[in-house]
Amino acid sequence: MDQRRDMDIIKNLKTIEWLKSEMLTSLASLYELLLKGEEDIKEDLEECISDIILYSYLLGRRLGLDYEDIDAKLKNKVKINILENHKIEKWYGDLTQLMEFIRSR
């Protein structure tokens, strides 16, 4: 029984390391796309950003967090930044748009 538990812990640790690596790879790809400055990169940007979000959720799950708790924390952060008039909110209203999107899901 202990051997099975040890194998599960090792498997989880390897999965965490793999997810961290995938997240970094996606982030590096995002930086590379932005550096190139090509015109038609919308689809590639969407791919990189969605990968980063996906790996963030999966990594959180492997670290013992619930998806609902991550979402709740995200909503709270958006709300706080709206109230504190974060620069991105002040300049563009992005956080209000994000909150409306989150609520509509």
Q: Tell me the pLDDT tens digit for each residue of 34-43.
A: 998 878 899 9
Please give the Cα distance from 55 to 32 (Å, whole number): 19
- So what's the pLDDT on residue 19? 98
The structure tokens listed for 10 are: 């090792």
Please give the Cα distance from 43 to 16 (Å, whole number): 27
Q: Are 22 and 55 in contact (CB under 8 A)?
A: yes
pTM reported for the whole predicted model: 0.88
- So what's the pLDDT on residue 64? 96
Distance (Å) of CA 46 to CA 3, 17, 62, 72: 42, 24, 24, 23
The structure tokens listed for 42 are: 């919308």
Nearest 5°: CA angle at 55, between 36 and 91? 55
Please give the Cα distance from 98 to 41 (Å, whole number): 22
Q: pLDDT confidence of 1, banded at 50, 70, 90? A: low
